[in-house]
Chain A
Amino acid sequence: DIQMTQSPSFLSASVGDRVTINCKASQNINKYLNWYQQKLGEAPKLLIYNTNNLQTGIPSRFSGSGSGTDYTLTISSLQPEDVATYFCLQHSSRTFGGGTKLELK
């Protein structure tokens, strides 16, 4: 099974900061990686699919990159409404990262 290691597990940042969250796969996952945002009490929302494709309606401050085993979600300028837990999904063999809880400093 492919394991997904997400880091950091907790992140504190200020409004306007550039934020990066990483997922590392135990083997090459050929860009089959999605990123999700989950706010407290809500369903997860798809942000990025297949590494770098922005889901419709998602603000352009969110972006994704990566290849092989290493993938990154970037928020270019953190906004208060971005406080949430973020997680990655390797959707070929259906394995999730452990999640990153993002809070405002």
Chain B
Amino acid sequence: DAGVIQSPRHEVTEMGQEVTLRCKPISGHNSLFWYRQTMMRGLELLIYFNNNVPIDDSGMPEDRFSAKMPNASFSTLKIQPSEPRDSAVYFCASRIAGPSGETQYFGPGTRLLVL
């Protein structure tokens, strides 16, 4: 099992540019989570999908952020336009939906730097 796959692993861009982060969840998992991690705020849940449907996007910072899950094996998180304060590590995690006992499995993260 390859685990959760994220790309790119590192992204450096200039303020105002569009950034697209990609995630491939573990095969068979039907819940997908996007997190953001910074030194100041720790891990923050941005959005959660269940069976490709967004269930809770209350953690999305603002309209500049959008996420899609067109099918069970792929999700994107887009930032447009990007700002320096968006610099962080973005993690994607997946799990099998059910009682909250199921463990989330995290990808390696995308380290984003917005100049």
A and B: real partners?
Answer: no
